[in-house]
């Protein structure tokens, strides 16, 4: 009897892990960049039930970008595309290092846009914009992150 219960628990646990792996929680929406695409913002959301921690970002063919930060703003404020985080325009936006920024659960991009269209955005709603600066034009971003202790990799074609 105990073997059956243990076996059943293992099957259920394996099924849950498999389901989580084939349904990654990170999603993207907005992609914006400067004219040269050396500065790019990728709007990210989390459709999972736990926070996401971005661990590394690579561009193009696995190159390390010049600088990466996360914008966390209210949806009505939006994002800024900047190539200088210390500019007076960028100073009015909230930028965080990847270590200090987790994408909160339930920040589903489509739902936030829908509330925004209906003018029903909540005061505590947040949007997350991965801001990548690079000396060469960015055509692809590879985002590595952790969710429920498991590593994931997500690629976004920028242009």
Q: Which residues pair with 70 in a beta bridge?
A: 96, 130
Confidence label for 12 from pLDDT (cuts 50, 70 and 90): confident
* pLDDT tens digit sequence for 27-53: 999 999 999 999 999 999 999 989 999
Q: pTM to 2 decimals?
A: 0.89
Judged against a pLDDT cut of 80, whether residue 21 lies above it is answered with no
Confidence label for 6 from pLDDT (cuts 50, 70 and 90): confident
Judged against a pLDDT cut of 90, whether residue 26 lies above it is answered with yes
Judged against a pLDDT cut of 80, whether residue 137 lies above it is answered with yes
Judged against a pLDDT cut of 90, whether residue 24 lies above it is answered with no
Confidence label for 113 from pLDDT (cuts 50, 70 and 90): confident
Alpha carbon distance, N-terminus to C-terminus of the chain? 57
């Amino acid at each position: 009897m105990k073997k059956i219960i243990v076996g059943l628990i293992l099957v259920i646990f394996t099924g849950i892990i498999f389901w989580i792996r084939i349904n990654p929680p990170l999603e993207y929406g907005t992609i914006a960049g400067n004219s040269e695409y050396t500065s790019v913002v990728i709007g990210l959301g989390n459709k999972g039930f736990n926070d996401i921690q971005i661990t590394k970002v690579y561009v193009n063919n696995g190159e390390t970008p010049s600088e990466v930060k996360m914008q966390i703003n209210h949806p009505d404020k939006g994002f800024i595309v900047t190539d200088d985080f210390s500019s007076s325009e960028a100073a009015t936006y909230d930028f965080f290092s990847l270590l200090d920024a987790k994408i909160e659960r339930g920040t589903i991009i489509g739902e936030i846009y829908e509330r925004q269209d209906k003018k029903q955005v909540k005061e505590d709603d947040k949007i997350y914009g991965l801001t990548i600066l690079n000396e060469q034009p960015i055509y692809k971003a590879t985002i590595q992150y952790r969710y429920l202790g498991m590593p994931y990799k997500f690629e976004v074609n920028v242009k």
